Structure 1
Amino acid sequence: MRILFFGDLVGEMALRYLEGNLPRLRRELGVDFVVANGENVDLTDPALGKAGMHPETVERLLACGVDAITGGNHSFDPPWAEEVLDHPRVLRPLNAGPFAPGRGYLLLEGKGQALVVVNLVGRSAWPPADDPLWALEGLLPSLEAGIPIVVDFHSESVFEKLGLAFALDSRVGAVLGTHTHVPTQDLRILPKGTAYVSDVGMVGPSGGMQGYEPGFLVAFLKGKRLPRGARLAWAGGPLEVGAVVVDLEGGRARAIRRLEIPVPQGG
């Protein structure tokens, strides 16, 4: 089984890239399932620095070939979050708590194969979250044995991500880090067969701060308050594509590699 996983999608540039390239990538790579983290794909309230997803964006991602959309600390930002999270192919962190809208995992089926996708958030990225390892430990016994599991762990901390991956080594096929938007080089397969990377990176515009124009974020950093009259905006640099390809067999990883593709200037 081959999975193509895209890190945090940031802005319209990321959407256009997937719409223009994902059908071809699925064919050329022989991908069985595509997962993308979509919690930064839209600016849902630029004056308050809020991100998230519009319902229309969900449909665009699914139409171009994404099978599951994961989230993180921005999953609950939009006032219409419940509408988005009600979609059966959209996930929010499993450890957001028992009363949060939406779901923290889903089962994908196709081509005679099945895959469980789980979304977790680290407390370093979202302090109100429940313990991510405990949440996943509580879920695993209820899942059907033999179906591979891929975890999107949305966390600021490499310690959190690595700790969870080693705790689950052999019981999940992959732990793929998201949230920092910065791709890391530490792709590996842990001793008992779990694929790991600290951060997949982002799909979005370079040249700013994590895909965003830095002015708003720097003003907030300096004053510890929202800058009056300013609005969060996308960065203006060329497109970055952060994605990994994971090969699974019998629930364990055989390989993990970065998607290396040339991207024209401007996306």
Structure 2
Amino acid sequence: MKILFIGDIVGSPGRKAVANLLPYLTEKAGGFDAVIVNGENAAGGKGLTQSVLDEILDWGTDIITTGNHVWDNRDIFRFIDTEPNLVRPANFPKGTPGRGWLVATAASGTRIGVMNIAGQLYMDSYENPFHTFDAIFPQIQARTRFILLDFHAEATAEKIAMGWYVDGKVSAIVGTHTHVQTADEQILPQGTAYITDVGMTGPHDSVIGMKKEEVIERFRTMLPRRYQVAGGNIILCGVILELDDESGKALSIQRVRLPMSDVVKAQ
């Protein structure tokens, strides 16, 4: 099984990157069984709307994960309970709208489980992510051996610890949230693919997607600023995962960092 996971889509530049580069990546890879994206910043840099979600799915993506910005656009409350391809962090309190995991059918006909969990360190007051994983994992394991965890967390140490904790249980754990791609992709000893952060899909002439002048001014003055999505140097970041068809364990993990300008020039 071959899976493409695309890192946090930021605003219209990020959406433009996926729309333009996904066909190129798909052709180059010879197709994907599933395409998963983190879309929590896809609508104006914060949150999701119905129209943006539909746009993302129309490109040929299969599953959308989110994170701590999932509620930033109130439009999401209209559809989060009925959208079958969308997950939010599973460790919100009981009764929170939406769901934290799903099992979907990939293009090959194989079922794939996706869980979305948020970290605790330097984040909001989520329930313990390790306990949350323990509660969810048996339910997914009973349905499929292909399991991906989007761990949406700030602290590198917490992400690494979770990686060791789930090694041999899930096919892959991919870190999201920081918008900075790390270079530590690896297959852990028990067969789980791991990367601390897949990075951001959007404008990299920025401070993690926002106009750099506004962010710098905030740091200089310590006064509140309303950030706007930047627009330059658009790059798609993600990973390509290859999983063993029999065991569900990872065979390879490949970082993707693809400037949109490179593909546009080549065309």
**Is the TM-score greater than 0.5?**
yes
1:70 counterpart = 2:71 = no
Conservation of the 8 A alpha-carbon contact between 1:239 and 1:265: no
1:20 counterpart = 2:15 = no
Residue equivalent to 1:127: 124
Residue equivalent to 1:47: none
The gaps in structure 2 that reach 5 residues or longer are none
Aligned equivalent of 1:116, options 108, 113, 122: 113
C-alpha distance 195-141 of structure 1, shift in aligned 2 (>3 A): same
The runs of at least 4 aligned residues of structure 1 exceeding 6 Å deviation read none
Residue equivalent to 1:198: 196
User: How far apart, CA to CA, are the structure 2 residues paired with 1:218 and 1:3?
Assistant: 37
User: How far apart, CA to CA, are the structure 2 residues paired with 1:99 and 1:216?
Assistant: 37
C-alpha distance 12-125 of structure 1, shift in aligned 2 (>3 A): farther
The gaps in structure 1 that reach 5 residues or longer are 45-50
- Secondary structure in structure 2 of the residue aligned to 1:60: helix
C-alpha distance 262-14 of structure 1, shift in aligned 2 (>3 A): closer
**TM-score using structure 2 length:** 0.90
Residue equivalent to 1:255: 252
Conservation of the 8 A alpha-carbon contact between 1:55 and 1:84: yes
1:6 counterpart = 2:2 = no
User: How far apart, CA to CA, are the structure 2 residues paired with 1:266 and 1:39?
Assistant: 25
Q: What's the CA shift string for 1:78-123, capped at 9, x where partnerless?
A: 1223124221111110111212110111111032211101111111
Aligned amino acid, residue 34 of structure 2: F
User: How far apart, CA to CA, are the structure 2 residues paired with 1:125 and 1:4?
Assistant: 28
Aligned amino acid, residue 157 of structure 1: A
- Secondary structure in structure 2 of the residue aligned to 1:17: helix
1:178 counterpart = 2:176 = yes
Q: What's the CA shift string for 1:50-90, capped at 9, x where partnerless?
A: x1111101000100011011100100111223124221111
User: How far apart, CA to CA, are the structure 2 residues paired with 1:96 and 1:2?
Assistant: 30
- Secondary structure in structure 1 of the residue aligned to 2:77: helix
Q: How does 1:224-243 map to 2 (within 5 A)?
A: 226-227=224-225, 231-243=226-238
Task: Give RMSD over aligned pairs.
Answer: 2.0
Aligned amino acid, residue 86 of structure 2: V
Aligned amino acid, residue 75 of structure 1: V
User: How far apart, CA to CA, are the structure 1 residues paired with 2:120 and 2:222?
Assistant: 20
- Give the drift of 1:220: 4.2
Residue equivalent to 1:104: 100
Conservation of the 8 A alpha-carbon contact between 2:235 and 2:258: no
C-alpha distance 226-165 of structure 1, shift in aligned 2 (>3 A): same
- Secondary structure in structure 2 of the residue aligned to 1:96: coil
Aligned equivalent of 1:137, options 134, 155, 160: 134
Aligned equivalent of 2:52, options 52, 57, 69: 57
- Secondary structure in structure 1 of the residue aligned to 2:112: strand
Residue equivalent to 2:85: 89
**TM-score using structure 1 length:** 0.90
Aligned amino acid, residue 187 of structure 1: E
User: How far apart, CA to CA, are the structure 1 residues paired with 2:232 and 2:184?
Assistant: 26
Aligned equivalent of 2:160, options 136, 159, 162: 162
Name the stretch that deviates more: 54-63 or 140-149: 140-149
User: How far apart, CA to CA, are the structure 1 residues paired with 2:103 and 2:242?
Assistant: 18
Instruction: State the identity %.
Output: 34
